[in-house]
Each structure stands twice: as C-alpha cells, then as structure tokens.
Amino acid sequence: MSRSRFSGIWPLFCLVCLLASVPRMVTAQDPLEDLVSAGRLSVSTSLSPNTGAIVTQKVNLSIEIATDRWFAGGTAVGSLEVNNAIVLHRQKFALNSTRRLNGKTWAIQRWDLEIYPQSKGTYMVPPVEIGLTISGDSGSPVRGTVLSNPVSFTASVPEGAPESGNWMATAQLSITESWDKSPSNLMVGKARQRTVTIKAEDSPAMLIPALPNDELAGLSAYPKPVKVFDNIGRSESQGIREESVTYFFEEANHYTLPEIQVHWWNLTDKRWEVATLPSVELQIEQDSSLTVAQSSQPLEKGVQVPIKRITALAVAALLVIGSVWGLIRINGRRLRNRTVENQSQSQSEKFFWKNLNQAIKSEDPVRIINALYKWLSFSNTLEDCLTLSEYAGIVERERLSVLFEQLLESFYGTPIRPYNQIPELKSELVRVRRRSGSLFRKWKSLFHSRKDLSSLNPSR
C-alpha cells in the first residue's frame, strides 16, 4: 500500500520541481496599462526632418507623453542605440506644458533625442523604454513603464559629394586661424604655434572633419591633442574643433603651408560649400649671430685652388645629381603603384582595422567610436551593420560589452567622463578579431530573422 501511494506522489513531485525550474514567462500587468487602455495616457513619437535627411545631419526624435492626470515623480528615458548612427541625449529636463482636450487639462512632457546617421540608407529606430510616475484617481502615485513607437527614416548623400568622404552637413560652418606670435621675421631655431578653429552650427563637434597633416622637410611639426567641445544654449548649439600645431624651424628656407579646405553641405541653401584657409608663406632666415666671422674673409694672397680638385668636385657633383634623379624617378613609379594599391585596399577590413588602431593611439573617444562603427560594417558577413553591444554579444565577450558601454558613456554621458580603459579595449579587440569570422557565420541566421519590434509597444 505504501509503495503504491509513493508511486502516485512521485510524478506530482517531479512536476512541481519542473515548474519551479522554468523561468516565469508571465508577469503582472503593468500598472500604467489601465490608463493606456482607457485613453488617459498616451505616448507619441515624431522625427524632424521626417524626410530628406542628409548623412551627418541631425534627425530629432521627439517623444511626447500626455496624461489627463499629472506627473507625480521623475521620468526616466531609457537608452537608445541605432545601427551605424550616433545618438545623443543632451536634454536633462523634460519640456513641460499643458493642453485642453475634450474639456480636460492634459499634462504634457516632451523629450528630444538627436540621431546623426553616418552613411546613406534606411535607419530603424527601436522603441524607447520610459519609466513614469502618474497620479492615480485616488491620489496615490502609479509607477510603471511604457514604450515609444518604433519609427524609421532614410538618409542620403547629395550629388557632388567629395570622393574622400571628408565632409559634413550643417547649417553654417566657419574656419579661422591664429598664431601665438606673428609668423614673420622668422629665424632658424625659433618656433611658432598655429591654431585652426572650425565651428559648426547645430552640429556636435565630434562630427567636424579632421584636418590633414602635411609634412615639410626642414620644418618639424608637433601637433597638440585635439580639442572638441560643444556650446549648448537654450535654442541652439555649436560644435567647435581646435587643432594646434607647433612648427620648429630647422633650416633656412622658404616654406609654404598649403591651404586648408573643409567641404560641407549647406542645409539651409541645399548646396555644397567649401570653407577655406589660404596658404601661409614662411621665410626662414639664418640667425646672423650664429655665422662664422671668418667665412666672409677673402682668401690670402698667393693661395690658389688646384684645377684638378675643382674638376673632381664637379664630376662628383654631377654623379650625385644623376643618382638622385634616378632615385626620384624610381620612387615616383613606386609611389604611383602604391597609390593604386592603396585605392584598391581603401575599402577592405584591414584598412578600417588600421584606422581603428590609429584612433586608439590618439586616445580620442570621438575617433575611436567612429572608427569602431566603420570597422564593424566591414568586419562581418551580415547584411545589417551591428551595434557595439550586438558585436560584443556575438563574440561572447562580456568584458568587451562593459568596455563599449563605458566608452559610449565617456562622451555621450552627462557629465562627460574620462575613458581610461583604452589599453584593455585594444587587447580585447585584437583577441576577438581572430575568432570573429566563425561566430558571425554562427549568428548570421539570428540577425536575418529579427522580428518587428512594434508588438512590444503597448500604446499601439
């Protein structure tokens, strides 16, 4: 009898253990769901501009929250990440207002996020999770979360864009220069510092193109760390990029610093423009105090220079000139061949990996983030461009995901914090690059079968 009773309890015990081991898939209904269902709480999303966006142009994502009650606590807007785009959340406080609807006063909150597409194509903006505290009918606060509507937009590149890709779209751009001392009356052994400042209206400084580094023989250039910062007002913002270079004059000669051009698309007039700094002429003279006094004295009477020695020197000079000319021609051919080879490799994964390493050496978070996105677009076999968090998930490196998050927070966070994990980030990227190929093939089907996120939005 006892054996039969035990055999009947054993399956029930196994079923209880099985149910306890399965994660809970059903959660309690969100307290705000009743207000949404009753039409007393709504979340709407809009884009500006909603059509005709240009690469690197600001696309403003506005999220409006409306309720016929009132907000009884702070609002927490979740993070947003868009593939191959830079997202900035500068707004610290919501824009509050009221509206009369059907004889009732509604409380309104608006939050704005800035999206900057980095290449042409269609961009999918996923829902944003928003934590709210609303006053209930009884006066007690009701806390919960809602999701914004997913939206999409398309970014394009205007015709006539520079082939180098070194340009930006903005409402206004200017470029100026300044010197610590006048670049005149220059002597060998002296130095001058030149600072070039680029300002872009209604655009972040991180999108302003970097200036070229031109090297001149006999003129040593020592660049300082680049300064990028934003001046943000109540209704407008301005991105500023400053590049300073100290020139040390080693030889007496005439030097020309080439002109600087920054191509930009005028969002107001819908046309290409070029901001230009003219070339700078530098005349370097030998310091008279360093010359040898005896060098100007004439030869003593009776001193003669042998004719054979003059002839030998002339022949040697001709041989040297001929050798140099031959080397110049050989190197010219090699340079042309190398240029063709570099052009063929400029769109390869190795090219963008090299650029990423250069950005890491500069320790500039702005360059590192941009180089990371460009390298990711060429380093995988997926049709979609990966976000940093998706890439870390594919290569199964939890530490890399933490480093990516800290890198984004170092520049996008409020306030901006220094990023001190660059050596560790580089070693992690080198480690995962060796094994990323097989993992991308493993996860390719997963990324091609993404589901529509609109089902996650309770307000639709």
DSSP for 54-104 reads ETT--EEEEEEEEESS-B-S--EEPP---TTEEEE----S-EEEEEEETTE
Q: 116 and 207 in contact (C-beta within 8 Å)?
A: yes
Confidence of residue 308 (pLDDT cuts 50, 70, 90): low
Q: What is the pTM of this model?
A: 0.58
Question: Could you say which DSSP state residue 216 is in?
Answer: B
* Single-letter code of the amino acid located at 187: M
> Residues 18-42: what's their mean pLDDT?
62
CA distance 386 to 378: 10
Percent of the chain with pLDDT over 90: 37
336 token code pair? 């042309």
Selected residue with higher pLDDT from 215 and 147: 147
Specify the pLDDT at position 56: 95
- Exposure of 272 by Cβ count < 10 A (0-12 exposed, 13-18 middle, 19+ buried)? middle
Give one DSSP letter per residue of 221-236, joined into a string: EEEPPPEEEEEE-SS-
User: Class for domain 33-156, per CATH?
Assistant: mainly beta
pLDDT in tens, 105-118: 999 999 999 999 99
Specify the pLDDT at position 280: 92
User: CA separation (Å) from 428 to 367, 421, 438, 443?
Assistant: 18, 11, 17, 20
Residue written as token pair 């090297």: 215
Select from 1.20.1630, 1.20.120, 2.60.40, 1.10.3470 the CATH code of 168-289: 2.60.40
> Residues 57-84: what's their mean pLDDT?
92
143 token code pair? 């806390």
Q: Does the structure show a pLDDT above 60 at 459?
A: no
> Residues 68-73: what's their mean pLDDT?
88
> Residues 163-186: what's their mean pLDDT?
92
* pLDDT-wise least confident of 115-124, 247-256, 282-291, 334-343: 334-343
Confidence of residue 387 (pLDDT cuts 50, 70, 90): low
> Residues 246-251: what's their mean pLDDT?
89
Domains 33-156 and 168-289 share a fold: yes
Q: Where are the domains of the chain?
A: 33-156, 168-289, 349-455
β pairing state of 280-285 and 186-187: parallel
74 token code pair? 């702070």
Specify the pLDDT at position 124: 95
β pairing state of 260-266 and 167-170: parallel
CA distance 399 to 75: 30
Q: Does the structure show a pLDDT above 60 at 160?
A: yes
21 token code pair? 């081991």
CA distance 253 to 186: 10
If one counts every other C-beta atom within 10 angstroms of the C-beta of residue 161, the result is 16
pLDDT in tens, 88-99: 998 888 899 999
> Residues 221-229: what's their mean pLDDT?
92
Q: Does the structure show a pLDDT above 70 at 18?
A: no
| Mean pLDDT, the chain, whole residue set | 79
Specify the pLDDT at position 24: 32
